[in-house]
Amino acid sequence: MLKVDAIDRGIVLDHIKAGHGMQVYHYLHLDELDCPVAVLQKVKSTKMGTKDIIKISDRIDVDLDVLGYLDPNITVSIIEDGHTVEKKKVELPEKIVNVAKCRNPRCITSTEQGLDHIFRLSDRENRIYRCIYCDAKAEKDSF
């Protein structure tokens, strides 16, 4: 059995849909951190069957809107002295800014460099976001 030590101080991203941990890792740019980061994939879970977990051994600001956009079931645990001191549940944000890029070649964001890519939540049930400029649907793999 694989054993990953508990962290003394940092953040644990839990309840990530199995197989999606690396997507979360890339969206949050965790490869740019100067601290240990562990990505655990397909961990057994009584609630989910299997899940992914990310452990970051430092306190960083995690963009909860990005997490909510990727997977609103993720929980964020803040760890101090080896104990959970705070647990946050993420939610679908009403809008996301510069998380996804509009793929519509006719969108103003394609011609105006430096313009923020802003998407609004248009269908909560199906987790669909649309560009505020051209109404194109956001694609999760575009960043």
The whole-number pLDDT of residue 124 equals: 93
- CA dist list (Å): 60 to 4, 20, 38, 56: 20, 21, 15, 8
Structure tokens at 8: 């003394």
3-state secondary structure of 125: coil
What's the pTM value of the predicted model, to 2 decimals? 0.83
The whole-number pLDDT of residue 61 equals: 87
DSSP-derived pairing of the beta strands 95-97 and 10-17:
unpaired
114: left (phi over 0), alpha (psi -120 to 50) or beta: left
Collect the ranges in the chain with pLDDT lower than 50. Answer: 142-143
The whole-number pLDDT of residue 12 equals: 95
User: Any idea where the domains of the chain sit in the sequence?
Assistant: 10-89, 95-131
The whole-number pLDDT of residue 7 equals: 85
Candidate CATH numbers 3.40.50.300, 3.30.70.250, 3.30.70.140, 3.20.20.30; the one for domain 10-89: 3.30.70.140
